[in-house]
Amino acid sequence: MRTRTQRLALALICAGALFPGAATYAPGTAGGASAGKPATHSVVIDGLKYDPETLTVKRGETVIWTNKDPFPHTVTAQGKFDSHDIAAGGSWKYVARTAGEYSYICTLHPNMKGMLRVE
Amino acid sequence: MKNIGIVVATALLLAAGGVAAQAPNDAQIAHIVVTANQVDIDAGKLAEKMGSTKDVRDFGKQMVTDHSGVNKQAVALVTKLKVKPEDNPTSQSLKSGGEANLKNLKTLKGNAFDKAYIDHEVAYHEQVLDAVDKTLLPSAKNEELKALITKVRPAFVAHLEHAKMLQSKM
Ligand SMILES: [Cu+2]
């Protein structure tokens, strides 16, 4: 369910895509949120799982992974982004700038798999 | 190397056998968890120094980090639950098996060390997982103790797969 404002924002973005020139009318909507400030999403790492396992965000939004396990993990999409070791209790912040589908793993425990979708 | 596998197997068979004879109580399970982690920490510390390849040294280092983290949490839990870990035959066998492994590893160098260490890690994690599934989880009464073991179980699976991957490259 979308609110009126969100629909309006979406419409503006779509318009921007169709008529690139139109985007200059509403620079604030480029990040996807009508409030102007891009949203922040969180992924919790607990019991060797990324939760949520798949996350979809808009370009410009921020994702924070927090490690609740008692040992380090990584968030690694080969050649795309790499948190390196996130200590127990630590977190890592990533600003999603490029659209795409990024499957990632923990290099320390490669049976841990997650997916970040950037629209 | 074969006899080390047997020592590990014997230690954990004792754990498995304990189900039929006498299931370990929570105080004993806590002791087994801490001992099993400590044994792998000690071997990891040696591998950090003695491993002849970076892969083996890194693996040893990760075993120290991961199993120390688990033990920190296990100790915090038993402190909170006011449970005093209780020594038992399974812990004792794990401990003596770990000592035999270290003694053997200390006589080895280079590839021979790497291979003996990794072979043992594969066998050890397999047996620990077996004990977790067949003895520790079914016997644990306290829900938080059970939850902790359940939560860290995938780490042992990851370690086993990692060790097997290193083993296949040797
Ligand atoms: Cu990990």
What does the pLDDT look like over B48-69, one tens digit per residue? Answer: 999 999 999 999 999 999 999 9
Nearest-CA distance from B115 to chain A in Å?
Answer: 20
Torsion of CA B62, B68, B70, B76, to 10 degrees: -160
- What residues of A are in contact with residue B68 (Cβ under 8 Å)? 71
Structural domains present in chain A: 1-36 (no CATH), 40-118 (2.60.40.420)
Q: What pLDDT does B5 receive?
A: 54
Q: Is B107 exposed, middle or buried (0-12, 13-18, 19+ CB in 10 A)?
A: exposed
Are B161 and A111 within 8 A, CB to CB? yes
How many domains does chain B contain in total? Answer: 1
Q: Which residue of B has its CA nearest to A110?
A: B158
Strands A49-51 and A40-46: antiparallel
The parent domain of residue B108 ranges over 2-169
User: What whole-number distance in Å separates Cα of residue A12 and Cα of residue B157?
Assistant: 48
**Each residue of B118-144: pLDDT tens digit?**
999 999 999 999 999 999 999 999 999
CATH number assigned to the domain comprising residue B134: 1.20.1260.10
Q: Which residue of A has its CA nearest to B70?
A: A70
Nearest to A71 among B66, B150, B162 (CB): B66
Residue A30 pLDDT > 50: no
ipTM of this complex = 0.82
Question: By percentage, how much of chain B surpasses pLDDT 90?
Answer: 86
Q: How confident is the model at residue B10 (pLDDT cuts 50, 70, 90)?
A: low
Phi, psi of B96 (to 5 degrees): -70, -35
Tell whether A108 lies on the interface with B, counting CB pairs under 8 A: yes
Q: Which of B67, B84, B105, B108 is nearest to B25 (CA)?
A: B84
Q: What is the mean pLDDT of chain A?
A: 80
Q: What pLDDT does A37 receive?
A: 82
**Residue A109 per-residue DSSP state:** S
Are B65 and A72 within 8 A, CB to CB? yes
Which whole number is the average pLDDT over B86-113?
A: 96
Which whole number is the average pLDDT over A33-54?
A: 89
Which residues lie at CB < 5 A from ion ligand 1?
A 73, 106, 108-109
Residue from A46, A73, A111, A113 whose CB has the most chain B CBs within 10 Å, to mutate: A111
Residue from B37, B41, B64, B152 whose CB has the most chain A CBs within 10 Å, to mutate: B152
Are A112 and B158 within 8 A, CB to CB? yes
Cα B137 to ligand 1 centroid, rounded to whole Å: 22
